[in-house]
Amino acid sequence: MTDVYIVGIGIHPFGRTDSRTGLQQGEFAVRAALADANLNWSDMQFAYGGSDAAGKADTLVAQLGLTTLPFVNVLNGCATGGAALFGAYSAIRSGDFDLGIAMGFDKHPRGAFDPRPTDWGLPEWYGEAGLMVTTQFFATKLRRYMDLHGIRPITLARVAEKAYHNGSLAPHAWRRTPMDADTILGSQMVNDPLTKLMFCSPAEGGVALIVASEKKARELGGPRIRIKAVSMRTRPQGSFEVFAPSLDLERGGSVSTSASRAAFEMAGIGPQDIDVAQLQDTESGAEIMHMAENGFCTDGEQEKWIAEGRTRLDGALPINTDGGCLACGEPIGASGLRQVYENVVQLRGTGGARQVARKVRNGYSHVYGAPGVSAVVILQC
């Protein structure tokens, strides 16, 4: 089996672009990735791609070129991008192909996601009673975690403050105005203890990554970043997920922990070897809890880590260096690939104002979403 490398990256700015459909933002990202790798669409031997709500990725062959390549559509909620990369990675690793592309894009209407009970196999009364709201899940998971592990509201605000700072330095970010912790704490309460500025918003964007075998990557001669591990998992028994009318008394692990352990085992390294991490931050508390679920610290250590600035750009483990979902918004199908894009930028050392201070060898990215899926990618240069 061959090693797999990322040899080209492209992104369409996240946020709101009224003049382009989701598909057009995906196409934009593909063209940017091809230009980055100095390749043509006709060089692509396969494609994996998808969006959650903005159309079928494979229809893009009309714009990109009718080369007859196999194009697999992926639809995996928040793990859509991760699943696309998982497919592309496996295709190269098998030895059947040596050059291909993974892409994801999305475009969501403004405001909270709008679920229907029947789509989730839930009775109408659950929604009617006001219990089917995604932000409630984040808040209740976080409330319990904060009380059990001594996390304070100021720590939630510091995570968001860091996100908006990092976002202000990232050209592809959406929210590019720095915001201080007091403003974040004082913004409108949404679901206690989370305020409006501690939540990410549905958004738009597209990302594409070109993957190659080791032989092909050497031939191309450009910068190459090795994919050390790609893992994807669905929820284990006893996990706590969105839209749960009941939970088992016996609490289980998290799907993020399952995906994380699998990725570290595959990469043959541990959390202590990671130099930069992008962790799912649907809201401030998610980044905090995911630090522990992914093995970077124990439960409760985040208080100290964040107070000491260890997760800032100049810290020992910079987290969400482009501002994460908080600053970039969350186009579901593109979000996981944005994290990988950002790690490639950091590993290439081309982050400019947001380049982390420490030397970077291993980059980690983690996406999590409903109904309990997680994907982890570890890169190495």
Partner 1 sequence: MATRSIAPGVFTPTPALRLIGGRHRASGGLVFPLPPDTESFEPVELPSRGRLWSYTVQRFAPKSPPYRGTEPFEPFALGYVELPGALIVASRLTQVSFDALRLGLPMELTTTALRTDPDGCVVLTYAFRPAQDAIA
Cα–Cα distance, 353 to 278 (Å, whole number): 17
Q: Quick one: 18 or 147, whose CB is closer to partner 1?
A: 147
Q: Quick one: 32 or 286, whose CB is closer to partner 1?
A: 286
Q: Quick one: 66 or 249, whose CB is closer to partner 1?
A: 249
Q: Quick one: 246 or 272, whose CB is closer to partner 1?
A: 246
Q: Quick one: 110 or 359, whose CB is closer to partner 1?
A: 110
- The DSSP symbol for 242 reads S
Find out whether 243 and 377 touch, Cβ atoms under 8 Å.
no
Cα–Cα distance, 24 to 16 (Å, whole number): 13
Q: Quick one: 191 or 213, whose CB is closer to partner 1?
A: 191
Nearest-approach distance from CB 250 to partner 1, in angstroms: 10
- The DSSP symbol for 257 reads H
Nearest-approach distance from CB 285 to partner 1, in angstroms: 11
Nearest-approach distance from CB 113 to partner 1, in angstroms: 9
Q: Quick one: 245 or 349, whose CB is closer to partner 1?
A: 245
- The DSSP symbol for 176 reads -
SS3 at position 6: strand
Q: Quick one: 196 or 215, whose CB is closer to partner 1?
A: 196
Per CB under 8 A, residues contacting partner 1 are 111-112, 114-117, 123-133, 136, 139-141, 143-144, 147-148, 188-193, 244-249
Nearest-approach distance from CB 299 to partner 1, in angstroms: 15
Cα–Cα distance, 337 to 379 (Å, whole number): 13
Nearest-approach distance from CB 1 to partner 1, in angstroms: 39
Find out whether 321 and 313 touch, Cβ atoms under 8 Å.
yes
Nearest-approach distance from CB 254 to partner 1, in angstroms: 15
Nearest-approach distance from CB 143 to partner 1, in angstroms: 5
- The DSSP symbol for 175 reads -
SS3 at position 377: strand
Tokens of 122: 């839930």
Which run of H or of E encompasses 338? helix 332-348
- The three state secondary structure string of 27-81 is HHHHHHHHHHHCCCHHHCCCEEEECCCCCCHHHHHHHHCCCCCCEEECCCHHHHH
Nearest-approach distance from CB 126 to partner 1, in angstroms: 8
Cα–Cα distance, 202 to 207 (Å, whole number): 16
Distances (CA, A) of 36 to 209, 236, 337: 10, 39, 16
Cα–Cα distance, 5 to 315 (Å, whole number): 27
Nearest-approach distance from CB 222 to partner 1, in angstroms: 47
- The DSSP symbol for 119 reads G
Q: What are phi and psi of 160, to 5 degrees?
A: -70, -40
Q: Quick one: 189 or 307, whose CB is closer to partner 1?
A: 189
